[in-house]
Structure 1
Amino acid sequence: MDKGNLVIYIISDSIGETAEQVAKAGISQFNLDEYEIRRFPYVTEKQQILEIIEEAKQEKAVMVFTMVLETLRNVLVEEAEKNNIPCIDIMTPVIESMGVVLHNSPSREPGLIRRLDERYFRKVEAIEFAVKYDDGKDPRGLKKADLVLIGISRTSKTPLSMYLAHKNVKVANVPLVPEVAPPKELFNVPAKKIIGLTTNPMKLIEIRQERLKALGLKHEANYASMDRILEELDFAEDIMKRLGCPVIDVSSKAVEESASIILEIFREIGYKIGNGR
């Protein structure tokens, strides 16, 4: 056997990041300047293991591995023992202990943690998108969105955008105000990607009066008057008809309920958003 520098073999049926981090943590405890780490990701066949063993037995080697596929894990352990190569199984003690506590069996499917990480980053991306394109801040976001919400003030556009973002849906929203023409980009968005939000005028008066109160303003402000609200609702209805988009009345609905209806609408028309894109 070559008595040279230590070679740490990282073997995994996924990408091997976990095993490599553990190996680096271990090697940091030694005053060792010369060593090599070799990573072998996506090992899914017995022949791959045999080839790695053949290489490792010629060197001063230690194997650190994360194999959730039990048959391959057994092959690796048996072949390492035959050739007197120390090997450290990172995953098995952890998942077996958890299985005992949970009274359940692990799925033993490679790469699940990476999928969880990807799902997390998609959610963060969707949340950042909702913040960036909230309240019509940048019309350029409309063509990038999975979904566009439109409606007058206080129809839950922002809460719905954020709620759906947590389901990995990229949402932009546009306020409809009679004095301001909707962005031209809105009329280039396919109708199947747009949801109109409307509400009961009496309910909206209550909501807007509470908003004025919170801001320290008088209830009699035009913002909370029936004439103004009816004008806005008529304007919004006209825009929604021009766009030909579905419309949801959010008057007595919680954000969760409205979001569920929106997702159901998309399922019915076959337009996939979020994870399904």
Structure 2
Amino acid sequence: MTPARPGRLATYFHVHLVSDSTGETLNAMAKAVTARFDGIIPIEHIYALVRSSKQMDRVLEEVAAAPGVVLHTLVDAELRSQLEQGCRRLDMPQIAALDPLVGALSRYLGAALSTRVGAQHALDHEYFNRISALDFAMAHDDGQGTTEQLEQADVVLTGVSRTSKTPTCIYLAHRGIRAANVPLVPGQENGERLTTLKRPLVVGLTVSPDRLVQIRRNRLEGLNADRASSYVDHDAVREETVKARRAFERRGWPVIDVTRRSVEETAAAVVNLLQERRARGEAPR
């Protein structure tokens, strides 16, 4: 029998993220890639809005002081060249993170590339639509708003307390989707008013009772609140979730189980439901 291998210690490495814009795209890409490696922990050095040779000199100084991998999304040819030459001198790997995708799309589309820095953050209609969606989500959080106001939503999320309704609405708003949420509260709100909605898609969120009790207990501990209540009682919570699930099924609302889903995954599932609804021609204009 082969002896068990001792637990492997985490490996740390420096990653330098260089962008001539906000750096959000590059940061998200770096996190997504490094998450694919077990036991690997990046030490991030973020350089945003790098738009001059002097700024690049400072970047290269910090790269030299903390050797590692350099990722960039630079558009300006001169700054790219300065970074590439500097990394060669330091014998440091540098990767233009978007080049493979941009190159492939350029060949497919036969279109010229834009050299405008931060083009994806332009103050266009889509940007203002996201801001409007965010305002809507905040104004219609946790059951706020009349039925008439909820009618203006693209989607209304409902479910018992602590099923990630609010963070999912905020995430959807960043994609320009007007989302509201209405919690189901025993003896107060049963979601009946949502049955009259015509325009929005109503989606029920559910979670396993065990997971819900854990989440609620953590919530109460954070508030230094009394834990002895039906809010965290296993039997009461189980009954609450079962009633909610039956209500969703009775009303014909699609249901998403968030027990093992992140907020991003829940939001993606909601987007898929919206797209399916539009494909069936059921979404009002």
Quick one: structure 1 residues 271 and 150, their matched pair in 2 at CA, closer, same or farther if it must change by over 3 Å? farther
2:243 aligns with 235
Equivalent-residue separation in structure 2 for 1:185 and 1:115 (angstroms)? 39
Q: Is the 8 A contact 1:141 1:172 kept in 2?
A: no
1:264 is matched with 272
Cα distance in structure 2, aligned partners of 1:108 and 1:256: 31
Q: Which residue of 1 aligns with 2:208?
A: 200
Structure 1 residue 131 displacement after superposition: 0.5
Unaligned runs of 5+ residues in structure 1 are: 1-96
Alpha-carbon distance change, 216 to 108 in structure 1, aligned in 2, over 3 angstroms: closer
Classify 1:133/1:99 alpha carbon distance in 2 versus 1 (closer, same or farther; 3 Å).
same
* 1:137 correspondence with 2:144: yes
Provide, for residues 107-156 of structure 1, a one-character-per-residue CA deviation record: whole Å limited to 9, x for no partner: 499xx899742221111110110000001111332200000100000000
Alignment partners' CA distance in 2, 1:123 and 1:225: 39
Query: In the alignment, what sits opposite 1:125?
Result: 132
Kept in 2, the 8 Å contact 1:177–1:235? The answer is no
Using the alignment, how far apart are the partners of 2:209 and 2:114 within structure 1? 52
Alignment size in residue pairs: 176
Larger proportion of helix: 1
Structure 1 residue ranges, 4+ long, deviating more than 3 angstroms after superposition: 97-109, 112-116, 181-185
Kindly provide the CA deviation profile for residues 13-32 of structure 1, in whole angstroms up to 9, marking residues without a partner as x: xxxxxxxxxxxxxxxxxxxx
Which of 148, 155, 166 is residue 156 of structure 2 equivalent to? Answer: 148
Preserved contact between residue 154 and residue 200 of structure 2 (Cα < 8 Å): no
Residues 2-151 of structure 1: matches in 2 within 5 Å? 98=76, 101=79, 106-107=113-114, 116-139=123-146, 140-151=148-159
1:253 aligns with 2:261: yes
Name the CA shift for 1:118/1:133 in 2 (closer, same or farther; >3 Å): same
Answer yes or no: is the 8 Å Cα contact 2:153–2:200 preserved in 1.
no
Query: 1:164–1:171: 8 Å Cα contact kept in structure 2?
Result: yes
Partner of 1:134: helix, strand, or coil?
coil
SS at match of 1:221: coil
Once residues 143 and 191 of structure 1 are traced to their aligned partners in structure 2, the CA distance between those partners, rounded to angstroms, is 6
User: CA 1:210–1:113 in structure 2 vs 1: closer, same or farther (change >3 Å)?
Assistant: closer
SS in structure 1 at match of 2:186: coil
Correspondence 1:176 to 2:184? yes
- State how far apart, in whole Å, the 2-side matches of 1:235 and 1:215 are: 27
Q: Are 1:225 and 2:233 counterparts?
A: yes
Greater RCO (CA < 8 Å, at least 6 residues apart): 1
What is the CA-CA distance between 1:221 and the residue it aligns to?
Answer: 2.1
Deviation of 1:239 after TM superposition, in Å, equals 2.1
Q: Percent identical across equivalent pairs?
A: 37
Counterparts of 1:210 and 1:121 in 2: how far apart (Å)?
36
- Give the aligned residue type for 1:246: P
Give distance in 2, aligned partners of 1:184 and 1:239.
9
TM-score by length of 2: 0.55
Q: Structure 2: which 5+ runs fail to align?
A: 1-74, 82-98, 100-111
TM-score by length of 1: 0.56
CA distance in 2: counterparts of 1:151 and 1:186, whole angstroms: 12
Give secondary structure in 1 for the equivalent of 2:182: strand
Inter-CA distance 114–232: structure 2 relative to 1 (3 Å threshold): closer
Instruction: Tell me if 1:213 matches 2:221.
Output: yes
Q: State the Cα distance separating 1:195 from its structure 2 match.
A: 0.9
Shift of 1:99: 5.6
The AA in structure 1 aligned to 2:183 is P
**Aligned partner of residue 270 in structure 1, secondary structure:** helix
Residues in 1 aligned to 2:77 and 2:151: alpha-carbon distance in whole angstroms: 46
Alpha-carbon offset, residue 232 of structure 1 = 1.4
Amino acid at match of 2:227: H
State the partner residue of 2:46. Answer: none
